Amino acid sequence: MNELSLAPLPWPQAPAPGLAFPYMVWAHEKPARTQAPLSNSGVPNAQADFLQSYRIDVNHPGQSALPAFEAAIAARLGVPKEAVIATPGASGGLAATALALFPGNCVAVEVPGYEQLRSLALRFAAQAVVLPRRVEHGFAVRPEDLGRALQGAQRQGQQGHAFLTNTHNPSGAQLSRSEMAALAEVCAQHRGVLISCDIYQEFLPAAERAWTCTVAPNTVTIGSLTKAYGLGPLRLGWIALGSGLMDVRHQVRDATYLLWVDPPTTTLHAGVAALSHLDELRAHADRTQAQSKPLLDHWLRTTPELEAHVPAHGLVSFPRVRGLGADASRNGHACAEWLVQHAGVDVVPGEFFGAPGHLRVSCGLPPETLAPALQRLALGLRTFCA
């Protein structure tokens, strides 16, 4: 491990100055321009035939739909129904939690990481600092790194929060229950909260899931039905508060009122129905992991241009590509564009996650499509970097 790799990570520079969320602009304009989109981090949209009998409901959501959905999520997570707040997708949950908890405080945000987390911390927190995740460490989060990141909070009398994803977007690295509890303890020492977007834990076997809201009292889980179940268009998610955060529940609910008031009644009904069909919805994710993920794992281990962590579960990986540079003609954006034009594959530039030199590559395709796509990607990287 060289000295450079252990240096403090700088705050990432925005790929598009002036925009708070340029990744989402890119994701709506350029995510899948080829027949091999290795840029999608979840399964394709579900064939939700069980929803076809649902009619539009114009009753107030609080009449039955909202409490029914929140109670169903609470039962699934094993928490009291008062701990759950429905949101329009995980993005809504992240935004409401940030608005409620961050003002006046210090927030350590994982880097590399999902761009919305960094932007929300910059928008709402008094101080936003880097919480490093390094490929050399398997993209783990170490308690000592979190402690160092939050030192300033203690000096300035701020609460010190941590804002991350588990499993990690973009690398797929998984933190265990004990590792998350250790991070929550560091936050507790700074009177803070550990907030984690847990949407990719849905790809884990049930016995391995460690919902963050259950590992310690000062924790929050953000969830959704999007990535593993293909129900992103429903825009349904949730915030689940740890047992020690019931006193801030009204602040969080107030933030949701300020941002969107209520999720749609009909969508909430559809969410309750979906929760009773999760096993059949999940079948596609299980099949994809069983058939396609071994191909991605082999590609990560055998492609010489890569330095990669191979995640145990999920569809995403975040290899470092030897030969990518900071120059505009050789960075991740230039490489991703070149791969579309010359290799017929889509990948996500690492710059969107605060990590130049990396690409996010996923395997959410049938094996007969994925195998040749990975071959073209390896050849394309070799050619581009040469």
Provide the pLDDT for residue 8: 63
- Rounded Cα distance, 27 and 369, in Å: 21
Cα end-to-end span (Å), the chain: 25
| H/E segment holding residue 172 | none
Query: pLDDT grade, residue 7 (50/70/90)?
Result: low
Residue 1 has pLDDT above 90, yes or no: no
- Rounded Cα distance, 122 and 57, in Å: 38
Average pLDDT, whole number, for the chain?
Answer: 93
Percent share of the chain, pLDDT over 70: 98
Provide the pLDDT for residue 297: 98
Section 193-200 average pLDDT: 98
Provide the pLDDT for residue 45: 87
Going across the sheet that includes 316-317, the strands are: 316-317, 359-362, 348-349
Section 265-290 average pLDDT: 93
Neighbours of 19 (CB within 10 A): 14
Provide the pLDDT for residue 46: 85
* Alpha-carbon 224 to chain mean position: 10
The alpha-helical segments, DSSP class H, found in the chain are 3-6, 22-29, 65-77, 89-101, 115-124, 143-149, 151-155, 177-189, 249-259, 265-275, 278-302, 332-342, 367-385
Query: pLDDT grade, residue 3 (50/70/90)?
Result: very low
Provide the pLDDT for residue 49: 81
Residue 230 has pLDDT above 90, yes or no: yes
Section 300-329 average pLDDT: 95
Cα distances (Å, whole numbers) of residue 93 to 126, 166, 270: 20, 15, 19
Percent share of the chain, pLDDT over 90: 86
One CATH from 3.30.1330.200, 1.10.1040.10, 3.40.50.9100, 3.40.640.10 for 49-276: 3.40.640.10
Give per-residue pLDDT as tens, 156-165: 899 999 999 9
Query: pLDDT grade, residue 187 (50/70/90)?
Result: very high
- Rounded Cα distance, 52 and 49, in Å: 6
Provide the pLDDT for residue 6: 45
Residue 171: is it exposed, middle or buried by C-beta count within 10 angstroms (0-12/13-18/19+)?
buried
Provide the pLDDT for residue 13: 82
Structure tokens at 286: 């299980």
Residue 191 has pLDDT above 50, yes or no: yes
Residue 15 has pLDDT above 90, yes or no: no
Query: pLDDT grade, residue 11 (50/70/90)?
Result: confident
Letter for the amino acid at 123?
Answer: R
Under a CB-based contact definition with an 8 Å cutoff, are residues 15 and 27 in contact? no
Structure tokens at 100: 């409620």
β-pairing verdict for 237-241 and 84-87: antiparallel
Domain ranges of the chain: 21-41+280-385, 49-276
Residue 292 has pLDDT above 80, yes or no: yes
Section 158-179 average pLDDT: 98
Domain 21-41+280-385 has CATH 3.40.1160.10: no
Provide the pLDDT for residue 225: 94
Section 209-219 average pLDDT: 97
Give per-residue pLDDT as tens, 324-370: 988 889 999 999 999 999 999 999 999 999 999 999 999 999 999 99
- Rounded Cα distance, 197 and 118, in Å: 13
Give per-residue pLDDT as tens, 19-52: 999 999 999 988 789 999 999 999 988 887 877 7
Give per-residue pLDDT as tens, 50-104: 777 777 888 999 999 999 999 999 999 999 999 999 999 999 999 999 999 999 9
Section 189-211 average pLDDT: 96
Provide the pLDDT for residue 321: 97
